[in-house]
């Protein structure tokens, strides 16, 4: 099978997830949307957990590529990622699905770890240590504010993301400065 088949499946699945939510992410629906036979979807993604993880990683890869190409404007790239509602909706759907289906929890664990590692790299690009604790703090802040924005979808909630991000980055910079002054 050609390698672009996997991409077609992921693009179709992401489109369904973004447009119709998690309930639409089934092998038959994705196969129809991708113009493929269901056996192609099953070949690449034998289980629902495999498919959901791949969709989540596909979305995260797109977000991280955007951050990488905009390193000179990293705060803005992070804000854009947190306000991109289809991706936030996908993450919220995956969290809710994992709440109901314990088999999805390892999928979510892998996604959380991958995002946290990427955010640690972003922090290092900002001149911070990029420690596990710093990445956790940034991840929790962005995730929480993005979920609140998903529910509110107004200018105040969008502004809260920007304010929260700058506050966390400022706090981390102050901690870094304090650490360098300590004997």
| Domain range annotation of the chain | 1-46, 48-181
Domain 48-181 has CATH 3.50.50.60: no
In the chain, where does DSSP find H-type helix? 4-20, 27-34, 38-44, 48-69, 74-83, 85-100, 105-125, 132-152, 155-181
**CATH topology agreement for domains 1-46 and 48-181:** no
Q: Are the C-beta atoms of residues 60 and 115 closer than 8 Å to each other?
A: yes
Least confident piece of the model among 13-17, 34-38, 68-72, 138-142: 68-72
CATH class as words, domain 1-46: mainly alpha
What number of residues does the chain have? 183
Q: What is the mean pLDDT of residues 145-168?
A: 96
Q: Cβ–Cβ contacts within 10 Å for residue 91, how many?
A: 21
Residue 63 is encoded by which pair of tokens? 């977000």
Q: What pLDDT is attached to residue 33?
A: 96
Report the first-to-last Cα separation within the chain, whole angstroms: 61
Please give the angle made by the CA atoms of 109, 66 and 68, to the nearest 5 degrees: 85
Q: pLDDT class for 142, splitting at 50, 70, 90?
A: very high
Q: Are the C-beta atoms of residues 170 and 164 closer than 8 Å to each other?
A: no
Residue 169 has pLDDT above 60, yes or no: yes
What confidence tens digit (pLDDT) does each residue in 9-67 have? 999 998 898 788 778 889 999 999 999 999 999 999 998 878 888 887 787 777 677 66
Residue 2 has pLDDT above 60, yes or no: no
Q: Are the C-beta atoms of residues 51 and 13 closer than 8 Å to each other?
A: yes
What confidence tens digit (pLDDT) does each residue in 23-36 have? 888 999 999 999 99
């Amino acid at each position: 099978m050609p390698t672009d088949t996997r991409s077609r499946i992921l693009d179709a699945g992401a489109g369904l997830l973004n447009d119709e939510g998690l309930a639409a992410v089934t092998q038959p629906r994705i196969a129809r949307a991708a113009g493929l036979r269901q056996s192609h979807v099953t070949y690449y993604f034998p289980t629902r957990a495999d498919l959901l993880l791949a969709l989540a990683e596909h979305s995260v890869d797109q977000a991280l590529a955007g951050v990488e190409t905009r390193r000179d404007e990293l705060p803005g790239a992070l804000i854009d990622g947190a306000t991109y509602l289809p991706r936030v909706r996908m993450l919220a759907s995956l969290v809710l699905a994992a709440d109901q289906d314990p088999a999805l929890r390892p999928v979510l664990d892998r996604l959380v770890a991958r995002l946290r590692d990427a955010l640690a790299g972003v922090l290092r690009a900002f001149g911070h240590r990029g420690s596990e604790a710093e990445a956790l703090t940034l991840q929790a802040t962005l995730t929480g504010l993005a979920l609140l924005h998903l529910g509110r979808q107004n200018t105040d909630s969008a502004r809260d993301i920007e304010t929260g991000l700058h506050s966390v980055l400022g706090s981390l910079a102050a901690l870094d400065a304090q650490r360098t002054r300590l004997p």
